Amino acid sequence: MSVLYIVLPIALVLAAGGVAAFLWAVRQGQYDDLDTPPYRAMFDDEDERPDAR
């Protein structure tokens, strides 16, 4: 039973850290565009291709 006095505060701190990291990511705009990155991985950029000489 005394282990709860150690585990519970650690769990609360970790949960608060996860919520803080999520809020920081949302405020930084990490979740603004969820549709284009998968499509960008499928198509090559024309400008970055090396010359085939």
Residue with tokens 């920081």: 24
Amino acid at site 31: Y
pTM of the complete model: 0.62
Chain segment 6-53, per-residue pLDDT in tens = 999 999 999 999 999 999 999 999 888 888 877 887 877 666 656 655
CA torsion, points 24, 30, 33, 34, in degrees to nearest 10?
-100
pLDDT value at residue 53: 59
pLDDT value at residue 19: 98
